[in-house]
Amino acid sequence: MTVRAWAELLRVSALFTVPGDALAGAAASGRRPDRGSVLAVGASLCLYEAGMALNDWADREEDAIDRPHRPIPSGRIAPGAALAAAGALTAAGLGLAARAGRPALAVATGLAATVWAYDLRLKHTPAGPAAMAAARGLDLLLGATATGATKRTGPGPGRGPGAAPGAGWQSRPGPGSDPAARGLVRGALPAAGLLGAHTYAVTAVSRHEAHGGSTTAPLAALAAVAALGAAAVHEQRGRRGDRETDPPTGCGGQDESPRPHPSHRSPATPTRTATGLVRTALTGSYFRTAAVPLLHAALNPSPPLTQRAVGGGIRAMIPLQAALAARAGAVGTGLAVMGLVPIARNLARKVSPT
């Protein structure tokens, strides 16, 4: 019973919607997933679970009326234990991000601050959906800044162990002193914006899941999902080919590879055609997963159907992350992210993601 109570508190069925954030961020940055990506995934999981525990601690009085079956109001988990878990998980997440470098730690700190601000203050205000959208966007940017961090912070060419102090690159650059990290963030911003927009739409619907009654929120979310699907199905501008590659960098970490002229269009090849088909299939999976329950909720805005629409929107994040990875040319990463779908679906039958 204790294990199940904690599984419900931490929403373990929604946990599998998190790793794709960092992997999509790595793909949007144009790099292969590496040790930094793994650290980013670990940090994201910890901060997400911290938010789940803190959410139920902050809503314990409201849940005692609307959701008395939840772990805290039902007495299965003490409020103090949930708050302590939120603090410990936040510290663990920041610790993992710190191991990926200061730029990643800076993004993770902003993410943690957003999570705590949402749960403790912003959730029931008009700024709530925007705060939740910002959190998901920052989670994707965390993957972008952490990936390749060890390569960006290593010694420069020709700088051996006996080099004079200060002769190599800065070993632990600060958030504003790493031009490569800033470039990766800029490259990942469009993908972060798309993921944040989806999160905003789903969060707006979730504000009505306890009592239902709103057709406007699911209709607006349905329109947003259609627009996001149209954006995700198109190839990311400026990406270099269909393979995930680590671009060559100079001493300052800047990409020195030639960039194609904006008007240049690569000729169609079997590889590009296959990549486009995969991207289309992943986008279609995203649209189907999110749109169908949203349509049902718009036609009948009862609490059960609204809750089902929220759950569908949460699960749809996985194919959206996969589509964003494929959009950046990382088809392998996108297909790997889609492997999380059956796990999330099976767990959702046992533990509600909302």
pLDDT tens digits, residue range 207-262?
A: 888 788 889 999 999 999 999 999 998 877 655 433 444 443 433 344 434 444 44
What pLDDT sits at residue 250?
Answer: 37
Please indicate, yes or no, whether the overall pTM of this predicted structure exceeds 0.75.
yes
Residue listed under structure tokens 């008395």: 68
What pLDDT sits at residue 210?
Answer: 78
Q: What is the pLDDT of residues 73-94, one digit of tens each?
A: 999 999 999 999 999 999 999 9
What pLDDT sits at residue 179?
Answer: 66
Q: What is the pLDDT of residues 127-164, one digit of tens each?
A: 999 999 999 999 999 999 999 875 655 444 334 444 43
In a domain, 170, yes or no: no
Residue 27 scores a pLDDT above 50: yes
In a domain, 163, yes or no: no
In a domain, 76, yes or no: yes
In a domain, 157, yes or no: no
Residue listed under structure tokens 């198109």: 234
Domain extent for 288: 2-152+177-246+267-348
Read off the pLDDT band of 353 (50, 70, 90).
Answer: confident
Phi and psi (nearest 5°) for 255? -70, 125
User: What is the DSSP annotation of 47-111?
Assistant: HHHHHHHHHHHHTHHHHHHH-TTSTTTTTSS-HHHHHHHHHHHHHHHHHHHHHT-HHHHHHHHHH
Q: Is-contact 200 133, C-beta < 8 A?
A: yes
CATH code of the domain in which 320 resides: 1.10.357.140
In a domain, 206, yes or no: yes
- As to burial, measured by CB atoms within 10 angstroms (0-12 exposed, 13-18 middle, 19+ buried), residue 280 is middle
Number of domains in the chain: 1
**Residue environment code for 299-318, b if the CB has 16+ CB neighbours within 10 A, otherwise e:** eebeeebbbbbbbbbbbbbb
Q: How far apart are CA 314 and CA 309, in angstroms?
A: 9
In a domain, 258, yes or no: no
- Among the listed residues 239, 144, 143, the one whose alpha carbon sits nearest the alpha carbon of residue 183: 144
In a domain, 284, yes or no: yes
Selected residue with higher pLDDT from 181 and 268: 181
Q: What is the pLDDT of residues 99-129, one digit of tens each?
A: 999 999 999 999 999 999 999 999 999 999 9
Q: How far apart are CA 330 and CA 314, in angstroms?
A: 22
In a domain, 257, yes or no: no
